[in-house]
Amino acid sequence: MFGSHEVPTELRRRLAIASAAVSVTILLLVLRMWSLQILQGEELSILSENNRIRLRRIAATRGRVVDRHGRVLVESEASYDAVLVPEDAIDLENTVETLAHFLRQSAAETSAVLERAAGRPRFQEIVVKRDLEWEEVVAIETHQTELPGVSVNVTPKRYYPEGETLAHVLGYVGEVTREDVENSDYYRSGDLIGKSGLEEVFDEQLRGINGGRHVEVDALGRELRVLDKVEASAGQTLVLSVDLDLQRAAEDALGDRVGAVVALDPNNGDVLAMVSRPSFDPNLFNGGIRKSDWKDLIEHPRKPMTQRAYRGQYPPGSTFKFIVAAAALQEGVINPFTGIHCGGSYRMGKRDFRCWRAGGHGRMNVVQALAQSCDVFFYQIGQKLGVDVVARYARSFGLGAPTGIAIGNEKGGVIPDRAWKLENMKEPWYPGETLPVAIGQGYVTATPLQMAHAVAGLAVGRLYRPRLVLSTEDVEGKAITSLPAELVGGLEIKPAVLEEVRQGMVQVVNHPGGTGRSAALEGVVVAGKTGTSQVVALGRKRIKAQDLPWQHRDHAWFVAFAPAEAPEVALAVLLEHADGGGGKVAAPVAGAVMNEYFRLKQSRGAVVSHVQD
């Protein structure tokens, strides 16, 4: 049969209905075109002729940063910015020049504005100057007719009420770079972005979500009416582990000296204080730092922009000895009663390796050797252990690699071993190189954060990753995320060994012959270890710090934890190129910080019990 109609009737009926539906739908589209092009055509034509619709950004308020007790470290306040829409400036160059006159801008700044305006859609506004003075706002408002396309926008700016305090940790904000804009859906040129510290790492949480509004503007760019509007939503609040009081105390204890202090809670890794001196005022960066200010910061001989606490890498010197002691006891190289004689130097091959005490310490066991920081004792056990074993233990205490704290560009220091030297220096390890390593010199370097981390590990037998941010909250203070303490791992060292090493460190502070007695506190047993690390080899000479040029002076270290029997706080103090050894200059700083820690604890406890009464 000639089957032109084999498709069932029902199917054909349905196809006919479909055809009718299609026809109706297309007709509806025609009606939509009629409505847009004929009925609203006139009105939309006017809008298109001199495209008068502008999308104006409503900048989200950047989130706050508070300390563990809710005290504000960073917040946002209003900034009045001069903005320009090139589309509305009748004569762009002329407008920019007139504006420069009112804003007291230089010719270079003016041409920079014009440069930014080029190569962007003409209806997009550009920020000419942030954070205007009140007179400048008034000048723009009153001279509006001379300044077509210019308006004053209120946007949030960053305010750091504590100034230099915690500046390296908080970081600062600055204008986005071209790459930032290309790599993100969020940022447009002219926006502010976190440039360093927590501002950078937690930028996504802090920045919030921008809103905006469609506005119709007149020929001068002034708003005639708002067509629609999407409100911005503010960024999250970061709650830090830092205790502002302790932070201030640590800064005061360092004073004008160059160095770093890191205080951790060994039981969870919380960073209670993190100081790097000298510091800078992040408020300077608001809305673009002035060239002269930037030059001052960069060319300052003591480098205030350097984050010494987690980016400064220094030979740890004798503070490293607690790790070597633990290694030797655990490996069975010595036992708690093993005595080693120190005659002031140790001969290996043709070289004499000297102890810091020229006359020698006599016979001493491990506790005594730690208490008096005897170099000869550690040369010998270091030699017996070998560099690879020392390195293995040092790494188990978190040295030689970044701790993983949530902040950018952390340094990891160096823990040398045979493989490291072969790879980095293309040379085999020489036995004589092991001895300096045993006293934390040679190639060994660590950051103050790493040393605090390591001594916290010794204090409790486990390592927690240093934690700066406890949680994030929304504007109302409701928790959004909380970042739990993170256990990196337990130390694979017998409790008895750890106890022996801790005992040695208690003696450092509490024994009459200890090197760190100036860190002792009343009523709390402190355990610690001093360190004085050489910056330049002095050969046989013994020269007082005061007689050396600053940059050749030794670094002074002190690491500590307290109370020794149930540690609550662990810290590392580093004084760069100090005018004395660790016991003389670093230990008192540590003592002052710990003293403040226990004083605060007591006064807070008192307040709590008072409330409970």
With binding defined as CB under 8 A, does residue 183 bind another protein? no
Amino acid at 184: S
Helix, strand or coil for residue 164?
Answer: coil
Amino acid at 13: R
Residue 611: CB atoms within 10 A of its CB come to 7
With binding defined as CB under 8 A, does residue 51 bind another protein? yes
Residue 207: CB atoms within 10 A of its CB come to 24
With binding defined as CB under 8 A, does residue 104 bind another protein? no
For another protein, give the closer residue by CB, 38 or 537: 38
Residue 148 preceded by cis peptide, ω within 30 = no
With binding defined as CB under 8 A, does residue 299 bind another protein? no
For another protein, give the closer residue by CB, 19 or 409: 19
For another protein, give the closer residue by CB, 229 or 351: 229
Torsion angles phi and psi, residue 120, rounded to 5: -130, 155
For another protein, give the closer residue by CB, 123 or 443: 123
Q: Catalytic: 345? A: no
In the complex, least distance from residue 81 CB atom to another protein, rounded to whole angstroms: 19
Name which of 339, 374, 336 is nearest 355 in CA terms. Answer: 374
Q: For residue 4, give both structure tokens.
A: 């032109």
Which residue has tokens 């989130």?
63
The region of 15-23, 126-134, 143-151, 549-557 touching another protein under the rule CB under 8 A is 15-23
Chain centroid to CA 276: how far? 11
With binding defined as CB under 8 A, does residue 142 bind another protein? no
Q: Please identify which residue in 12, 290, 295, 302 interacts with another protein, judged by CB under 8 A.
A: 12
For another protein, give the closer residue by CB, 41 or 513: 41
In the complex, least distance from residue 5 CB atom to another protein, rounded to whole angstroms: 8
The region of 8-16, 172-180, 199-207, 483-491 touching another protein under the rule CB under 8 A is 8-16
For another protein, give the closer residue by CB, 33 or 479: 33
For another protein, give the closer residue by CB, 14 or 302: 14
Report the distance separating Cα 602 and Cα 562, nearest Å. 15
Report the distance separating Cα 282 and Cα 171, nearest Å. 7
Residue 466 preceded by cis peptide, ω within 30 = no
For another protein, give the closer residue by CB, 14 or 351: 14
With binding defined as CB under 8 A, does residue 107 bind another protein? no
Report the distance separating Cα 558 and Cα 520, nearest Å. 12
Residue 209's beta-bridge partner residues? 233
Contact 150, 113 (CB under 8 A): no
Q: Please identify which residue in 11, 108, 358, 611 interacts with another protein, judged by CB under 8 A.
A: 11
The region of 41-49, 382-390, 520-528, 578-586 touching another protein under the rule CB under 8 A is 41-49
With binding defined as CB under 8 A, does residue 185 bind another protein? yes
With binding defined as CB under 8 A, does residue 33 bind another protein? yes
Q: Please identify which residue in 44, 479, 538, 608 interacts with another protein, judged by CB under 8 A.
A: 44
With binding defined as CB under 8 A, does residue 481 bind another protein? no
DSSP string of 242-275, one letter each residue: --HHHHHHHHHHHTTSSEEEEEE-TTT-BEEEEE
102's enclosing H/E stretch is helix 92-103
Helix, strand or coil for residue 109?
Answer: helix
Q: Which of 318, 373, 518, 533 is catalytic?
A: 318
Report the distance separating Cα 314 and Cα 195, nearest Å. 25
Contact 505, 325 (CB under 8 A): no
For another protein, give the closer residue by CB, 27 or 536: 27
Helix, strand or coil for residue 156?
Answer: strand
For another protein, how many residues bind (rule: CB under 8 A)?
54
DSSP string of 136-201, one letter each residue: HHHHHHHTGGGSTTEEEEEEEEEE-TTTTTTHHHH--EEEPPHHHHHT-SS--TT-EEE-SHHHHH
In the complex, least distance from residue 524 CB atom to another protein, rounded to whole angstroms: 55
The region of 9-17, 320-328, 415-423, 487-495 touching another protein under the rule CB under 8 A is 9-17
Helix, strand or coil for residue 195?
Answer: coil
Q: Please identify which residue in 106, 107, 121, 484 interacts with another protein, judged by CB under 8 A.
A: 121
In the complex, least distance from residue 117 CB atom to another protein, rounded to whole angstroms: 15
Report the distance separating Cα 270 and Cα 456, nearest Å. 11
With binding defined as CB under 8 A, does residue 119 bind another protein? no
Q: How far is CA 401 from CA 324, 450, 471, 535, in A?
A: 18, 9, 25, 22
What region, left, alpha or beta, does residue 349 occupy, with left being phi > 0 and alpha being psi -120 to 50 degrees? left
Residue 270's beta-bridge partner residues? 467
With binding defined as CB under 8 A, does residue 347 bind another protein? no
With binding defined as CB under 8 A, does residue 123 bind another protein? yes
With binding defined as CB under 8 A, does residue 55 bind another protein? yes
In the complex, least distance from residue 85 CB atom to another protein, rounded to whole angstroms: 14
With binding defined as CB under 8 A, does residue 425 bind another protein? no
Q: Interface residues for another protein in 192-251 (CB under 8 A)?
A: 210-212, 214, 227-231
With binding defined as CB under 8 A, does residue 17 bind another protein? yes
Annotated catalytic sites, by residue? 318
What are the residues binding another protein (CB under 8 A)?
A: 2-12, 14-19, 22-23, 25-26, 29-30, 32-34, 36-38, 40-45, 47-49, 51, 53, 55, 121-123, 185, 210-212, 214, 227-231
